[in-house]
Amino acid sequence: MSTTPPPQAPTDRPRPVTSERTPDDGALGWLRALGPRGRRAFAGAFGGYALDSYDYFTLPLSMVALSAYFGLNSGQTGLFTTVTLVVSAIGGALAGVLADRVGRVKALMVTVITYAVFTVACGFAPNYETLLVFRALQGLGFGGEWAVGAILVAEYASASHRGRTLGAVQSSWAVGWGLAVVVYTLVFSVAGDDLAWRVMFWTGALPALLVIWLRRNVHDAPEAAAAREQSAEKGRFAAIFKPGLLRTTVFAGLLSTGVQGGYYTLATWVPTYLKSERDLSVVGTGGYLAFLISGAFIGYLTGGYLTDRLGRRRNIWLFALLSALCILAYANIPSGANTLLLVLGFPLGFCMSAIFSGFGSYLSELYPTAVRGTGQGFTYNTGRAVGAVFPTTVGFLADSWGVGGALVFGAIGYGIAALALLGLPETRGKELA
């Protein structure tokens, strides 16, 4: 007679986190624990998000050249970011529903193709209005990629490692950002501004190569796919607004609004701030951004570790406070103190990225399997859309306050995020089907 215990049904109940050491502990224990299929899913999500970041940053890095080429004011350039993020809410919500209905990997491929095609199209825009439309359509794919990729990996990751695993996925944003800065420095150093901004957008075709690899090598987590297929609720917007999930949806959307409002304020306007108010050259701007991006990369990894150690809510609270303080300090550095500006870029990048590390695991854990894509896609990208008001507000305030003074507005977003946590539970240790 076999003594093997029967398999246990997957559960969404929180389990206590123990301090007992396992073979999967250690610096790369989270990666070993994924298994071969999980590691391929991680690679796909990592690559997709890195290229998503690369395509996003082609615009902020080219903003000064675009403004001169089309004769735009600060409000008009800020509108580029706003339409991208507003439309990304639609794309993200639709991608979440698609992920629940047809699977995570298929939805991931759709989002990558969408943002790549319209990023390239931006490089052919003959006027401001056309570029605005193409950038908005790019947002359809941009909005969905992160939520779908994060869920794909979250469903492979164990409860004890999920924060670190999703933090590592988030770190790919800094990788894509860094790659964009390198290409920006090379392109704008070789080509004139009128051509260079177009070349930046044309390089956004790179993600097409990732789609081919995803199709051949990456698959949904088997248990989660089976649970999703068995549910009649899968991929229904109405399900995340039912009494049992309505509170979660409202406060998760508010949390996402605050964090992304603060983040995109900085991501959009710091390059312009460095060139227009600090009078840095293209190479000089790239050097200062290198400090910011290095801090961001380490922040993602550190935040992922801390979200497993401290819990999801404490990690977000901690870095909401620190991010707000860093913005205030960065925007008020005296004129001429560019060495201090360089040094402070590291903690600014660290804090504003570490707060994101818990998002992939936290939002995945707040929703049941059948509507996980719908819930995460909707709340994360609704936050993007509402948070998009922040960069536009900074654009209009910049004409009277200066870009540096207007950046302080981003600190308000982190205050909103801290308040939103009061309406959400702690989910550390929760198993996912």
More confident residue, 393 or 213: 213
Average pLDDT on 160-189 reads: 89
Write out pLDDT tens, residues 130-142.
Answer: 999 999 998 888 8
Provide the pLDDT for residue 358.
Answer: 82
pLDDT of 289 strictly over 80: no
In this prediction, residue 190 has a pLDDT band, given cuts at 50, 70 and 90, of very high
Nearest Cα to 332, choosing from 260, 272, 403? 403
Average pLDDT on 62-81 reads: 85
In this prediction, residue 419 has a pLDDT band, given cuts at 50, 70 and 90, of very high
Pairwise CA distance, residues 411 & 259, whole Å: 9
Nearest Cα to 147, choosing from 110, 109, 95? 95
Average pLDDT on 225-245 reads: 80
Provide the pLDDT for residue 281.
Answer: 57
Residues 262 and 409 sit within 8 Å (Cβ to Cβ): no
DSSP state of 205: G
Provide the pLDDT for residue 18.
Answer: 41
Average pLDDT on 393-419 reads: 76
Mean pLDDT of the chain: 82
Packing angle between helix 372-387 and helix 128-154, nearest 10 degrees? 140
Residues 32 and 24 sit within 8 Å (Cβ to Cβ): yes
pTM over 0.85? The answer is no
Write out pLDDT tens, residues 249-279.
Answer: 999 999 999 998 888 777 667 666 666 665 6
Provide the pLDDT for residue 272.
Answer: 67
More confident residue, 120 or 82: 120
Provide the pLDDT for residue 6.
Answer: 44
Residues 175 and 52 sit within 8 Å (Cβ to Cβ): no
Average pLDDT on 73-98 reads: 83
In this prediction, residue 229 has a pLDDT band, given cuts at 50, 70 and 90, of confident
Burial class of residue 84 (count of CB atoms within 10 Å of its CB; 0-12, 13-18, 19+): buried
